[in-house]
Amino acid sequence: GWSTPLADNVVPIVRKAIEKGKIVGAICNGASFMAKHGFLNSVKHTGNGLEQLRLWGGENYTNPDGYVHAQAISDKNIVTANGSATLEFAKELLLLLENDTPERIEMYYQFNKQGFCNLFPE
């Protein structure tokens, strides 16, 4: 739904959150939506590829040099990720939220990424 006119109702909420220094996360087409509305113009970011960000962002997207080809990245309280990066997205958000120590967040990330059977073979 990020490409629908209804999604534009989120713009003032995102703008206010960013202005107040709140943590904002955008994954998959959410990152493209952020590009469309200029929210990625002053941060390092990722998404579903630079070309998609350019396509969605048009003239409002002025920071292609800030694009990082990575699963997920955070900068200035904005977390972006591509559509296949659910675990990396969660990890970046948990780190920003200081949900636990970085070591424990990394441990849980690895547990979920590698899986129980790989970590605890018979």
Q: What CATH superfamily classification does 5-119 receive?
A: Class I glutamine amidotransferase (GATase) domain (3.40.50.880)
Confidence at residue 120, expressed as pLDDT on a 0 to 100 scale: 87
42-88 pLDDT per residue, tens: 999 999 999 999 999 999 999 999 999 999 999 999 999 999 999 99
Q: Which residues are part of the catalytic machinery?
A: 28
pLDDT digits (tens, 9 = 90+) for 76-107: 999 999 999 999 999 999 999 999 999 999 99
Structure pTM?
0.92
Task: Cite the DSSP H helix spans in 60-120.
Answer: 86-97, 102-114, 116-119
Closest listed residue to residue 78, CA positions, set 52, 50, 114, 39: 39
Report which of 1, 71, 70, 65 is spatially closest to residue 33, judged by C-alpha positions.
1
Q: Which residue is it, tokens 């949900």? A: 99
Helix axes 29-36, 50-57, angle to 10 degrees: 40
